[in-house]
Amino acid sequence: MLNTITNTLQIDPTQNPELAAQIDAILEEHRNKPGCLMVVLNEVQTKVGFVSEQIQDYIAASLHVPVSKVHGVISFYSFFTTRPRGKHTIKFCLGTACYVGGSPQLIEKAKQLLGIELGDTTEDGNISITMEACRCVGACSQAPVVVVDDTIYGRVKPSKVTQLIRALEKEG
C-alpha cells in the first residue's frame, strides 16, 4: 500500500497550515447545522480526498465531540477513506446489472495487468493506481461500467480495460 506517505505533513492539519485552513473553512460553514458532523466529514472527504486520523482528531476538538464518535461515523460509511488514494483510481461496478453484464471478467483482467487485488494500490515508482470495486453508479443500462478517476465508461470489454490502464500508465 501507500508507504510513500510516511511524512505526516500531508495528512496532519496541526502540522500543515494549508490543510488546517481548508478544514477550518468547512467547519465554519457548517458548524451551526443540526447533525453537522456528517456534513463536515462529507465535505472534507470530497475536498481533501481523505479523512486521516489526525484530521478526525482535529474535527472532534473543533466540534467538541469525542474522537470516538467521529471515528465511529468514519468507520461506518464506506465513502470515507482514512488514507490518500493512489493518484488514479479505477473502480469496477459490482452492482447487479454490471455483475450480470460481466464485470467479474474485467476485474480479472485488471488484476493481472496491475498485479494487485481489489482495494490495493500499485506501488511502482511514480505512478500509483488504486483498484476498487463499487456498487451501482446509476449507469446500469450501460453495464458493465468502469469508473476511471471521475470518468465513467460503459459497455466495457476486457480489451478496453487494457487500454484504460495503459492510458493511465502513460499519463503517469
Partner 1 sequence: MTYFRSHILVCNDPVCTNKGSMEIMQALIDEISSKGLQDEVQVLDTPRIGNCENGPEILVYPEGLHYINLKKDQIPFLVEEQFLKGRPIPDFLAPPKKEQAQELGEPTAKEVRVVLRNCGKIDPQNIEEYIAEDGYQALAKVLSESTPDEVIDTVRRSGLRGRGGAGFPTGLKWSLTRDTVSNTKFLVCNADEGDPGAFMNRSVLEGDPHSVVEGMIIAAYAIGATQGYIYCRAEYPIAVRTLNIAIEQARAYGLLGEHIMGTDFSFDMEVRKGAGAFVCGEETALIKSIEGKRGEPRPRPPFPSVKGLFGKPTNINNVESYANVPQIILRGPEWFSSMGTEKSKGTKTFALAGDVNRTGLIEVPFGITLREIVFDVGGGIKNGHEFKAIQTGGPMGGCLPTADLDLEVDYEKLTQAGSIMGSGGMVVMDDETCMVDIARFFMDFIQDESCGKCVPCRVGTRRMLEILTRICNGEGRDGDIELLEELCVEIKQDSLCGLGQGAPNVIVSTLKNFRDEYEAHIYKKECPAKVCRALIQYEIQADKCVGCTACARNCPVDAISGEAKKPHSINPDTCIRCGICKNVCNYDAILVK
Chain residues that interact with partner 1, rule: CB under 8 A: 34-39, 41-42, 45, 69, 72-73, 76-80, 94-102, 104-105, 108-109, 111-113, 135-143, 150-155, 157-159, 162
Asked whether 42 and 26 are in contact (CB, 8 A), the reply is no
Piece of 45-53, 58-66, 78-86, 136-144 that binds ligand FES (CB under 6 A): 136-144
Give me the sign of the Cα torsion angle 61, 63, 68, 71: negative
* Among partner 1, ligand FES, none, residue 118 binds (CB under 5-8 Å by kind): none
Where in 84-103 is the site for ligand FES (CB under 6 A)?
A: 93, 95-98
- 76-92 in b/e burial notation, b at 16+ Cβ within 10 A? eeeebeeebebbbbbbb
Nearer to ligand FES, 4 or 142 (CB): 142
Among 36, 67, 127, 140, which residue interacts with ligand FES (rule: CB under 6 A)? Answer: 140
Asked whether 80 and 74 are in contact (CB, 8 A), the reply is yes
Cell of 168: 493511465
Closest CA to 70 of 41, 50, 44: 41
Minimum CB separation of residue 138 from partner 1 in Å reads 4
Number of residues that bind ligand FES (CB under 6 A): 12
